Amino acid sequence: MLYLEFDKETYQSTDNFELIIKVYPIEVEKTIRFYKDLNNIEISFERNVEEFKSREELNTRFIEGPPTFGEDSEYIDEFTISKEKPFGKIFLGTISESINEIVFEIPELNIKNKIEKFFI
């Protein structure tokens, strides 16, 4: 299971933020694998008709199980997680504003999402 937490409940358009990602196994201890550049974690900020929400997706490619094609430790990091010891990572991001848009950026994940102010 993937959980997202932020360091605050509300932000201004010039704030920095911390996004904390935690991955817990559903039942038993499990080994998970992430690309070293973390490109199998996808997060986007989008406006919903009812409210503004963030959407996250943990891509299943290279998440569970052993290597398919031999040694891949040059590209993949492996973690053993349990309910007591989940995987956790903090990403630093920024919020900025232009005339028509609010921009959310998380450089480490190469994320730059824009939302038109009209929708907020």
Tell me the CA distances in angstroms from 34 to 10, 20, 68, 75, 93, one per residue in order: 30, 16, 14, 9, 20
Taking the model in full, what pTM does it have?
Answer: 0.70
Count CB-CB contacts under 10 A for residue 67. Answer: 13
Give the pairing type, strands 101-106 and 87-97. Answer: antiparallel
More confident residue, 10 or 55: 10
Domains of the chain listed by start with CATH number: 2-119 (2.60.40)
Give dist(CA 92, CA 85) in Å, integer: 22
34 burial via Cβ count (<10 Å: 0-12, 13-18, 19+): buried
* pLDDT over 60 (residue 36): yes
User: Per mean pLDDT, which range of 15-19, 23-27, 80-84 is the poorest?
Assistant: 23-27
What are the two backbone dihedrals, phi and then psi, of residue 68, each rounded to the nearest 5 degrees?
A: -85, -35
Query: What is the pLDDT confidence band of residue 49, given thresholds at 50, 70 and 90?
Result: very low
Residue 109: pLDDT band with limits 50, 70, 90: confident
